[in-house]
Amino acid sequence: MAENANNTALPKAGSNIRIVELAQSIMDGVAQLQTVFSDKGLPFPSFDEDAPSKFPLEAFDARDTVLDASAELYDLLLDPITLMLKRGSYNNMVCLQAITRFKIPSRVPTDGGQISFADIAKQIGVPERMVQRLLRQAITMRVFREPQEGFVAHTQASKALTDRDTAHWLASGTEDMWPAAVKVIDAIEKWGDSQEPNHTGFALAHNTTGSIYDFVAASPERAARFSGTMNALSSSEDYDLTYVLDHYDWVSLGKARVVDLGGAEGHISIALAKRFPDLTFVVQDMEQVVANAGTNLPADLNDRVSFMAHDLFKPQPVEADVYYMRWILHNWSDKYCKLILEALVPALKDGCRILIQDFCMPKPGEVALWKEQDARAMDINMAATFNAIERTADDWRALLKEADPRFALHEITSPRGSALSMIDIRWKAN
């Protein structure tokens, strides 16, 4: 029996009874899930609109086993053309684009209510037959349901889209990112190995000569979508603040000063300041971001959390004990990441720390396949939109060495369940 990254037994590839072994793995995994949910008194997974979406940590391994085994079993029972068609999924994006563009989730009653295809068609000004075709495709993906013929009601997924930030996330994906993905290969053919942030599928798709940042900043609608997308992702379980608070030894820093680079309105620094009273924080971001960032700062943190306008590519003016970057460097190619790191050097003193909380790409087979698929999809998305990359541990080591050999990688930790790893770097002056 083979093992996945979580040491959960999976059937050996190539067996003549592979489908039987996969079915047994699914049964065993489901039994483990049942035990966890029953022992904790939790409701079992459901498509119901009010079903909870969080998964207990104790069920992660069993979930990985079931998802990978069931996906392999599904794929084994398809012919090659059907398999590739299913994986292509471009038709799925069409109906998702319709759902978000016409704001259909907000038109469907919650709490078990329903609305007819005909009424939706009238509200959005689209022919009823096309509404029916688009939504029935979405229903096959568990987005909405048809409780009786001709009527639409919510599932867990569609109701999630009634949240403003989640709706922005889907709108950004279908209106901004999907067209960019279609142009990735064209960008590669046009610009080759360029590391410039405007040499992207995004630039080609949206007929712009600027980067995604330039393009989004020029449109209030797109800026709102982009901001909502970041909020939606940051508030998801994979990016929970507990991974920052609980999985690094902040207490050992004593009375340290921390610079939070690209810290936006300071939600990470504020959470850390509340938990660790010996720490002080300087939150740095663009001037328009930090201008009013301190307005809602709790009064008892006024002397320990401050805000400062700063350009990541300019020399760092603040001397501190720790420089923290959350989800910053994965937006930039190696060329620009090196510039960001080099800009820190004038302020660095021997032994100070640079903490990078970011993606650390797994090696093939290192994690459950469904998670690796998500990670690799994210990597392609970064290429399409930013001309950036999701880095492996070896990539991080190489980047640090190229920026300055005095950046010494101390440790990379990847908390179970977290999308981001903590990359702990120490500055060696001599």
- Of 120, 126, 124, the closest CA to residue 150 belongs to 120
- Dihedral sign for Cα atoms in the order 223, 225, 229, 235: positive
Q: Alpha-carbon distance 365 to 3, whole Å?
A: 10
Q: 60-76 and 369-386 are packed helices; what angle lies between their axes, rounded to 10 degrees?
A: 80
The DSSP letter of residue 423 is: E
- Dihedral sign for Cα atoms in the order 194, 199, 205, 211: positive
Q: Hunting for tokens 């495709």 — which residue is that?
A: 137
Q: Alpha-carbon distance 247 to 269, whole Å?
A: 15
Is-contact 206 177, C-beta < 8 A?
no
Q: Alpha-carbon distance 107 to 131, whole Å?
A: 13
Q: Alpha-carbon distance 353 to 330, whole Å?
A: 19
Q: Please name the residues in contact with 199: beta carbons below 8 A apart, sequence gap of 6 or more.
A: 187, 190, 191, 387
Q: Alpha-carbon distance 33 to 104, whole Å?
A: 34
Q: Which residues are catalytic?
A: 330
The answer for 290, left when phi > 0, alpha when psi is -120 to 50, beta otherwise, is alpha
Q: Alpha-carbon distance 72 to 392, whole Å?
A: 26
- Of 57, 156, 154, 34, the closest CA to residue 106 belongs to 154
Q: Alpha-carbon distance 143 to 154, whole Å?
A: 7
Is-contact 304 281, C-beta < 8 A?
yes
Q: Alpha-carbon distance 420 to 51, whole Å?
A: 26
Q: What are phi and psi of 301, to 5 degrees?
A: -110, 5
R_g over Cα of the chain: 24
**In terms of DSSP bridges, do strands 115-116 and 9-10 run parallel, antiparallel, or are they unpaired?**
unpaired
The vertex-415 CA angle with 413 and 418, nearest 5°, equals 120
Number of Cβ within 10 Å of residue 393's Cβ equals 16
